[in-house]
Every structure is written in structure tokens, then in C-alpha cells.
Structure 1
């Protein structure tokens, strides 16, 4: 990996993470508790398994647009996933170096929504006549970093938000939050032995008052049993809408992943590296992780 790509990715990841860190208090709460227990010495010791973004499948936006940023910096597009009930497509992207997180990128199939929902989304996105990523200087990492939080369309009214929410909680999330980092993921198997399983780490999380997403169970396990995931419930943010009205809505959250060693590898190997472990994602797991921002989960923490 060239020094230019490495330095660029370092800057991009930094630009992504800081606003997310500021917006999701659970990140600091979990990190501080991990430091207190001696799991880590600082946030930098946490291995980030993957980050995730949500997009809208409309002209000039969606995955085909957004992925260009990461493909330019050496990411490789991998497996396709489809979520029929949620009307979503997704891909994951492998990083150019193990130092960097995988990326999970999803897209709402807007054409599959009702006419009313399509009209609401078009109301905010129809003025985007060019692919905004094509307008970026991909050699300018500050410009790229700013882009993730740039308002590509106007804030919705509270009525439009609620109308979308009634049909697609994913659509409502994106229409307000845009390209905000949806979550980052603590790699559990890289932690010290007492905490390096999803079961033990979940127990630690609940001991410090973290509320977990229970959709599909607190632990979502792949069919092969080699990928286990859990997540917090999304933090509620104070949203102010275009008409000046305000209410709490779901923001972002934290995920946790344990990747177990592949069965074909040396069973006597005591310290398997990432290449020895299950890679990629599992659609059934992801389907339930999406619901970390859904009302059925967030109602547990609404005060």
C-alpha cells in the first residue's frame, strides 16, 4: 500500500470517527470502562472490525456513487447481500491493509417503496443533478472528510420524516442523518482472554449499563457459527426539522463482532490471525443489526 493511500485513509478515518465519537456517548462510556478494567490502554488499542453507511437508491446517489471514495483508496468490493423485507441491497468492501476496517454499505431500493414515500424522497433529492462524489477532489482528504457530513439535501419537515418512518425506518434515518457514520465495530476476539468472546463481552457491556439490541437475540450468529455479532441500541439525538419542530430520533450506535477461526486451519494454533478467521458478513445477522435504530429497540431507552 502506497504511503499516499495510507496517509489519506488515516485522515479519512479520523474525519469520520471524531464527529461520530462526539455524537454517540456510548463510545466514550464503553472505551473508558474498557480502560478501567485493563482491557485496553486507549481508544487506539481497539481493533475496528468494520464501519457502516446507509444510502438512498436514487439517481446520482446510492452505493454506486458513495463507493467511489473507498475504491479510490484501495478497498475491494466483495459480496452482495439483499434484504427483501427491508427493501435494501448491500455490499461489503475489504480494506487495502488489515490496519483498516472493513466497510459495509447498504442502499434503500427507493423504487420499491410506495408512491408517497418515493415522492417524499424525491422532494429532497431531485435537485441533485450530478453525482456529488464526482465533484470531489479525491486527492484532497480534508474535502472528502467534510463530505461525509455535508448536507446534500435540505432537512426534512417533521411530517415528511414521520410519513417515511411509518413505511421504512431506514428511509427516515437516512433522510435526516444522511451519510453520517452509522456505526463502528469493536473486534471482540482481539481483546484479552477474559473478554474475547461475544458472550463475555456482552456481559461486561450490560454490567456498565449498556442496553443491547435484542432483535433476533442479543447475539446474532451466522449459519456456520463463525461470526457472532451484537450491538447497542442507537443513541437518541435531538433533531430539529426544517419547520423548526424538534423531537428525539435515533442516531448511531456501536457494534461488536467475534470472528472465529476457520475449521480448515491448524487447530493447534493458539493465536490465529485475521487471515485464519471467518471473513465477510451474514445477511441474517445484518438484518437484525439494522434494527438497532428501529423504534422496537430504541423505545427501551427513550426517557
Structure 2
């Protein structure tokens, strides 16, 4: 587990310093006697050979993770897989990629130009998954990409890193319902993602989720700094399957709405 902890510590440092500074406050609000259990993280990328889903998965597979589920988000033009470690306490990893072939030729050419700037050596570093942006970008290009695909704009602006960590509600003593967590967060000034309702899913799909709206963070572009949506914090409650084990997968309809947290 030591290598797992090292990688997730690096991801957490990047996430709280660069993408979602408010996560530290949420973490403190919910921490009880035991450390919070992280249900999963999520990573985003483009489906180009140099930086595709398999490249982001490689550092996790190297420390024991295995692919466990595949997901399609047709409206958002995304494909995703989730990965699990043999140790059930290790966080799950959800990696999505934008299917460029389904996007406009302008978006495709622009993204290829960005990814061409990525140094080959960078991709072989295990901490590549939280290394941030590896290309130059101006704000007009960011706006153009975002207008067609909010996801493309996000990845272009932020590069690589966890767009969210997820608190497992199952291990909390103070709260048993996600709505109670949402109420506490609202009381402390956090906005909750309302897309598809404040709680996505339910016992019938064995998974309930909610999320804060993304922090607004400063990003450097070639033509100056701009404040744009960064990362967010998610909350998940899993229900037992027929065998008594908690459901470990993801629900496409709910995940589709969770993506809206960075809109």
C-alpha cells in the first residue's frame, strides 16, 4: 500500500493546491476520529495515443490496479473506465477521455497541437497523472474549446490532475445520508451541484452521489491570468449487493451529471 499512498498523496497535494483549494476545508468539516476514506478520484484526458486513457491508467496498473468497468457518455462524447486495487480500502480510479473523432475538425486540430507539445519523457513519470498542463495555451483558444466541449476546455486549461476526490459517506458516524452532508456544506457557504437533482442515483442503483460546484481558480494563459472552474469535491454512499458486499461500480446517468460540477 505504500506506493498507493505515495501516488495518492501527490494527487491530493496537487488537487488541494492547484485545482480545489476549498477541499481542505470540506475535509476538515467532515473528518471524525478516523481519517476520511476516499471512495475514488477522477482524471480527464483526450483519446490521443500520447496521453490517452491507457497512459493515465499505467501508473495505477503498475501498483496493482485492474480495470473493472467501462462507461459511455454519448452526449458528452466521452469514454471512461474505472480501476480497482486488490485492497478494498484503496480508492477506486475513474478515468475518462474525450473522443476527438466525434468533435469538430477545429477542436481536433487544436487539441492535437496542444498534445504535440507534451515532452515524451513526462509521460513515463508515475506522477504524470498530476503534473498539470504541459502545453502553452491562450485564453481565446480555451474559450473556443469550451464553447464546443466544456470538458475539452477544462483539460486544455488544467492539464493532468484529479478533478475530484470523493468522501465515502459509508464510514461516517455523524452522517448517514448525503442530504445531511449537503446541508452542512451549504450552511458553510458551499454551492452544491443541482444537475439532475442534488442527490444523483439512489438505493435502486446501489449508489448515491453529490458534489460541490467547482472552485474558481486562477490559471495562467499566454495572454494573462484568468479565473475559471477548477476541481470539486464529491460524496458517495454505496449500498450492499445481494452478496452483502457494497456495490463498487459507477452509474453512467449519475456520473454524467457529476461532470456538470465544472460547468
Shorter-chain-normalised TM-score: which range? Answer: over 0.9
Q: CA deviation at 1:25?
A: 2.9
Q: TM-score, normalised by structure 2?
A: 0.93
Q: Could you tell me whether the CA contact under 8 Å between 2:42 and 2:162 is conserved in 1? A: yes
Secondary structure at 1:31 match in 2 = helix
- Equivalent residue number for residue 198 of structure 1: 178
Aligned residues: 262
Report whether the alignment pairs 1:33 with 2:2. Answer: no
- Equivalent residue number for residue 156 of structure 1: 137
Q: CA deviation at 1:262?
A: 2.1
- Equivalent residue number for residue 272 of structure 1: none
Q: What stretches of structure 2 of length at least 5 have no aligned partner?
A: none
- Equivalent residue number for residue 269 of structure 1: none
Between the aligned partners of 2:252 and 2:47, the Cα distance in structure 1 is 19
Q: Which structure shows the bigger proportion of residues in strand conformation? A: 2
Between the aligned partners of 1:212 and 1:239, the Cα distance in structure 2 is 23
Question: Relative contact order (C-alpha < 8 Å, sep 6+): which is higher?
Answer: 2
Q: TM-score, normalised by structure 1?
A: 0.81
- Equivalent residue number for residue 200 of structure 2: 220
Q: CA deviation at 1:53?
A: 0.2
Between the aligned partners of 1:234 and 1:187, the Cα distance in structure 2 is 19
- Equivalent residue number for residue 259 of structure 2: 290
Find 1:17's aligned residue among 12, 17, 22: 12
Q: Could you tell me whether the CA contact under 8 Å between 2:133 and 2:160 is conserved in 1? A: no
- Equivalent residue number for residue 100 of structure 1: 90
Between the aligned partners of 2:57 and 2:182, the Cα distance in structure 1 is 32
Higher CA-based Rg: 1
1:20-51 C-alpha deviation (Å, 9 max, x unpaired): 1223232222223235xxxx14xx61010001
Q: CA deviation at 1:122?
A: 1.5
Between the aligned partners of 1:49 and 1:7, the Cα distance in structure 2 is 18
Secondary structure at 1:79 match in 2 = strand
Counting only pairs closer than 5 Å after superposition, residues 180-195 of structure 1 correspond to structure 2 as 180-192=161-173, 194-195=174-175
Counting only pairs closer than 5 Å after superposition, residues 92-171 of structure 1 correspond to structure 2 as 92-128=82-118, 130=120, 132-133=122-123, 135-136=124-125, 144-145=126-127, 147-150=128-131, 153-171=134-152
1:72-103 C-alpha deviation (Å, 9 max, x unpaired): 11001011100000000000001231221000
Q: Could you tell me whether the CA contact under 8 Å between 1:155 and 1:241 is conserved in 2? A: yes
Find 1:256's aligned residue among 218, 235, 247: 235
Q: Could you tell me whether the CA contact under 8 Å between 2:133 and 2:156 is conserved in 1? A: no
